[in-house]
Every structure is written in structure tokens, then in C-alpha cells.
Chain A
Amino acid sequence: MEISGAEILARCLAEENVEFVFGYPGGAVLEIYDAIFKQNKFKHVLVRHEQAAVHAADAYSRSSEKIGVALVTSGPGATNAITGIATAFMDSIPMVVISGQVGTPMIGSDAFQEVDMVGCSRPVVKHNFLVKDVKDLAATVKKAFYIATTGRPGPVVIDIPKDVTQAKAVFEYPKSVSIRSYNPPVKGHPGQIKKAAQLLSEAKRPFIYVGGGAVLGNAAAEVTELVRLLNVPCTNTLMGLGAFPGSDPQFVGMLGMHGTYEANMAMQYADTIIAIGARFDDRVISNPTQFLSQAKKIVQIDIDPSSIAKRVKVDVPIVGDVKDVLKDLIAILKDSNTRPNEKALAAWWDQINDWRKPNSLWYPQDDEIIQPQFVMQKLFEVTGGNAIITSDVGQHQMFTAQYYAFNRPRQWINSGGLGTMGFGLPAAMGAQLANPYADVACITGDGSIQMNIQELSTCKQYHTPVKIINLNNGYLGMVRQWQEFFYGTRYSESYVDALPDFVKLAEAYGHVGMQISKPADVEPALREAFALKERLVFMDFLTNPKANVFPMIQNGKGLNQMDLPPHMRDMQLIPFENNRDYGNLC
């Protein structure tokens, strides 16, 4: 029996076990919406802006091991989705975005609500398709899900013209996909893995550097096993937080631009680094020349060969699925009893513990004004470290990364690569729908929240009881910090000064609003909010407008050239002590 393209699409999504489609209807997708109306296999979530649909689908993916799906109409619907798609692309998030297109006879005629979506999205997708014939539709959807989820994951766009959704064909969903030009690697090269084990046995100051690839590759258990087996220090990147438990004594904190003193110093002075699903991003190592000035051996494990040796030279590249590679590496290490030099390792830990002592994350909290760091610490305590946390982009994002210890993967959801303001709230919705029984908190700022604040309405409609934590400092905080550091404190357009009454605003959308201005009220307010299991609570924390994120590494400087927090400012950097018993630098 022949059914319409729209019905075929709905059947395909059901075949893929899609649970939610995040979207917004419009002329070009009305046929699809009609097909959605007539089925009950998956639910549709009506957002208030297409960007939010994509962010929600993205966070649905990030917070589960499932795949997010978004549906938007042609033209403006499609272009509104681009920021969300680019966000997912930068962070390698598996996702399928379906966009409507004008009818095939009209394509190229500048028709109403026409935009070349395949062209617009090309630079920010893993792959995209324009379906010109209804007979190709089912196979294309199958391919899209396959491409999005395999290899280095990423967003895939399917652009479907309106007449294709109306045309009819027999529904037949392919059982498997084979694309001759696409064969993502899985197993790492055994010889290279052996070499990595060998390097570890020669290491005097080994360091394990774990990125988002370990989270996406579901390799947290293997990462943890490796770090504990070797008894070496471990850092997570912003995207990797949770891949190794943040509360573990072997964890030295996040590294990079706003990383801890100990993590950055250890990265700089390590003699052997194992990079796991991490790509030596500019926000992580800052200046590659400075970074490599301490001769070091680098092992890099990544599924994407183009991420290997892109910014730094790598001694042992291992292309493969991170989970598989780590399993193989651990097996070899256990078998051969290969371990880093124990005596040197003990000295290395002494050095790291010296770097830890000044506590670069210390901040002064008095009784008068709330420090943003304090809110994060209390949030950690109140939620028992168990909440799924989404964040927007700015100072609050860094404070969260620094002060909320993430102990499991997929618990920390932020726009790391693209740095998209407006991500937090729709992401919290998506994460809450994927994890209906979890506490989900959105950490945001007065600037970020206003970029997609209309989603408070979606949260009302779908009863997503997220807890919004607005670190309100009346500034675009990160912009203000940079203007202080690099632009002579000329606060050009970083002062908001026209903020809405967030409490009333939350109430206007039918939610609970709270404003907290005293440090003593922080914890009680959080407890009260998280006790309201069924309600969205918007907590407007009036925080120190002058608080800055420390440590900080300025562009171009080395990891050992941090701007330290005020309490450490007069302190000399604790030097790397070459005379400890490491033996010679390799």
C-alpha cells in the first residue's frame, strides 16, 4: 500500500525509536505535522523558537545515549535552526534535523519561505540531504541516523520538499545501511596501542587528559579504570567533565583558560600525556609553542583522524573508538604489568600536591554579597552532586565547571565548542524530557537567559520542572571581565541596566520566581526550590557584579603563566622542581 511521504517519515522515526521530536510547524511541513497528529509512536514538543528546538534535541542526546530529533519548516524555520545545528556540530552531538523545503518545481525560484538549506547548513553539519523523490525518503532517513550516530558523531540535516511529503510510495524501511565511501574506524591499531603502553612504562611524569570524546564514546568506565590502574593524575576538559569523577583525589580539576593551577601546571610539566577524545583546543593549551616548550611525549586517541596532530605534534596517534582502544590498552597494561616508574610517580604527586596547596579556587565569601562561586558550591551540596546541569555561556558557565564536581558523564551539558548563549534553558528542557525523574538545573546569567527566555512558555506546556539558577550580576560578565583585563576597564555595552523583574517574568509564564540577595539565603532558597518537584523555579541570585573567573590564561600565554586569583597574586608561581627525583627530562 502506498502512503504519503509525510507518513513514511513518521514511520521511519518510529522505526528509529524516536521518543520526542522538537519542532515548530510551518507551511512546508504541514503535511508532516498532519502525519504526526495521526500517529502515537512519538510525541512532538512545540518550542517557541526553532533554535530552541535544536538545542533541546541536542541536550536530549547529550544527557542520554539516545538521539535527538528536530523538525522545522523551510526558510526562516530552517535558518533559525542553524545556530543550534552549529552548536551540535562543534561538540560532535548526534542529531537529526528535518527541515521542510518548498515544492521541487519551485526550488530555485526564490519562492515564499525558500532558502537553500543544504547550502546554508553545509559548513555546520556532518552531512546533509535533499530528498527529491519520495522513493528515496526512507533510505535517506536510515542513512541520516546511521551517519549521525557512528564514527565521530554529528548533526545530519534532511531537507524535504513539500511535494515529496505529499507524494506516495510504498513504505519499506531498510534493515541496514552500507555506504561505500563511509567506513568509520572502530579498533585502534594494536601496534600503536602497544607503543602507548611502552611510553607509559618510561614515563616519569604522566598525565591523562580527557575530553568530550570520552563522554560521547561512553568510555567513562574505561577512563576511570585506566587512571586508577596507573595511579596517575587526570584532568577533564570542559567537554570532558564527568568522564572521570570530579570528586576523585586523582582528579586535578579542569584545565585550560579557566582551569585550576594544578591542572595547568601538570599539563605544562608532564613528560607524557595521554589525550583521550580531546583535541588540544586553543582554550585548553593556549599557545602550542609554549605548551611544547617542555619536551613531552604525546599519545592521542581519537576516532577522527583529522583531530589528531592538528595543533600539536603527536608521538603515538591512535585512531579508533575510544572505548575499544582503552579496553585494549588496559588489557595490555594488565597483562604486561607495565606501569609508570613508581618512584618518579611519587615525586610527581608531591609536586602536584604542592601546586594544589594554595587552592586556586578559593574565594572570599562574606555575609553581605553573594559570590557566584558560593551559589555553585551550595548547589552541589543541595543536589548531592546528582543533578543534570545545563549551562549557558559566560562566567556562570566557568563557575559551574569549576565548582560543581561532576562525577558521572552526561551530567554536564554546555555549549563548549561554539559557546552559544541561549543554549541553557532549551537544553534543560531537552535534558528533563530525556530524564524525567532527574533534578535538572539550568545555570545561566542575566545576559544568556534573555536569548531564549521564551522557552519558559514551552516549559509550562510540557511541565518540565527545571530549576533555573540565574547568576545575575547586571553585566555580560565575561565580556566585562575581558574589558577589565584587555580594554582599560571601558565597559563598552556590557552593562545591561535594563533587566526585567525576573521573578515577575517567571510568574507571568506560570512558574515560581524567587530573588535571593543575601548569602545566608542561598542554601535555604535552593532547598526550597528543589523541594518543589513539580514546578519550574526561576531563582534570581543577585551576585557580586565584580566577581571574575580565576585562574585565567590570557591568549598566547603558556599554561604556566596564569593570572591567579587575588589571594594568590603576591605568591610566586610554585616552580616546577626539576631536582626532584624524576630523573632527567625526557
Chain B
Amino acid sequence: MRHILSVLIENEAGALSRVTGLFSARGYNIDSLTVQTTEDPTMSRMTIVTHGSEDVIEQITKQLNKLIEVVKVIDLNEADHIERELMLIKVRATGKDRDEMKRMADIFRGRIIDVTEKSYTIELTGPGEKLDAFIKALDQAVILETVRTGASGIGRGERILKL
């Protein structure tokens, strides 16, 4: 089962490699990983998407908590949460495709952020499934390049991950 873990971690050199090293050494999967410092510059927050049985996720959480630099870990799946992912997608846009591409971007509430004679680059944000749907909706031949950040997640409402 897919899980989305939020990890508060000391903003120290090497901390990220401890986390990724833990996953590789223990044979767990990282489906995606995003990380940036928080409003407190001494701390970073990671969102790790992973999958595994309940036992595996429990072990991952416990092992993460064991790392000295890890301040707090929560499994966002345990309650309501919001997920967003950013994708930049460069598509071929010539002739009649140019209008079609613009319409598609609008339908998915994307924004065209770079234009050349032959291409558009579209910025699209949303849950991963929405980005998947956009890719699927396009003629695969027009896709020149995609780059995705992986999910970032946050609890809904009063649910807050903070020290």
C-alpha cells in the first residue's frame, strides 16, 4: 500500500543521505522524495512516498525515528491530508496543435510558462493522478520532455507537524 511520510529533520549536511541510505540498506522503496528547509531554517521537511505492508511502514517509521537528526515523523495517510506535485512538461506545439495544447493546458488548469515557435512548456500542479491524467490525455508523440517533483503533502485542517 502507498504511504506518504512527512519527516522533520535537522538541516545538517549529510542528513538526507542518512535517510536515503536507510531505505536502500534495509531494502525499502522510495517512490518519490521532496525536501526543503522550513520556515525555521535549522529544520528541513521531507515528504517521502513509499509503499509496503503495514509492518514494513511501521519499521520504516521506527527506523527513521531512530536517526539522530530526525525530529519527527508522521504518516500523512493516517488522516486527511492534501498532496500536490509540480510537473513541467514541454510539448511540441506547431500548426493546429498549438491551439489544442493551449486548450488542454487550460482544462487542466496548467499554465504555459515558456513559448517557442515549436513548443510550449506547461506548468501543472496537482495530485499525482492529475498529472498522470494530463500525460495520458496527450498524444504521446507531442511530449518532448517531462520533469516532476514528486509529491509534497500536508495534513488537513488543524493537523500540524511542528516541533
Contacts and interface: CB of A to CB of B under 8 A. Distances in A.
Interface of A: 118-119, 122-123, 126-127, 130, 147, 179-182, 304-306, 309-310
A306 B59 contact: yes
Contacts, number: 33
Given A305-B65, A306-B62, A180 B71 contact: yes
Contact of A127 (B13, B25, B59, B68): B68
A182 B18 contact: no
* A-B complex: 9 closest residue pairs judged by Cβ atoms: A306-B62, A181-B71, A127-B68, A123-B25, A182-B68, A305-B62, A306-B63, A122-B21, A306-B66
A126 B70 CA distance: 13
A181 B62 contact: no
Contacts of B157: none
B163 A122 contact: no
Contact of B70 (A119, A181, A305, A310): A181
A429 B59 CA distance: 38
25 contacts: A118-B14, A122-B17, A122-B18, A122-B21, A126-B68, A127-B68, A130-B13, A130-B14, A147-B68, A179-B68, A180-B71, A180-B163, A181-B9, A181-B10, A181-B68, A181-B71, A182-B68, A304-B66, A305-B65, A306-B59, A306-B62, A306-B63, A306-B65, A306-B66, A310-B59
Interface of B: 9-10, 13-14, 17-18, 21, 25, 58-59, 62-63, 65-66, 68-71, 163
A126 B65 CA distance: 12
Given A305-B62, A306-B62, A310-B59, A119 B17 contact: yes
A127 B66 CA distance: 10
Question: Which of B13, B21, B62: most chain A Cβ within 10 A?
Answer: B62
A181 B69 contact: yes
A118 B163 CA distance: 27
Contacts of A180: 71, 163
A321 to B, nearest CB: 16
A327 to B, nearest CB: 25
A126 B71 CA distance: 16
A305 B64 CA distance: 11
Contacts of B63: 306
A40 to B, nearest CB: 34
A31 B10 CA distance: 32
Contacts of B59: 306, 310
Contacts of A310: 59
B52 to A, nearest CB: 14
Contacts of B10: 181
Contacts of A179: 68
Question: Which of B13, B14, B62, B68: most chain A Cβ within 10 A?
Answer: B68
A181 B9 CA distance: 8
B21 A123 contact: yes
A114 to B, nearest CB: 17
Contacts of B70: 181
Contacts of B71: 180-181
A130 B18 CA distance: 14
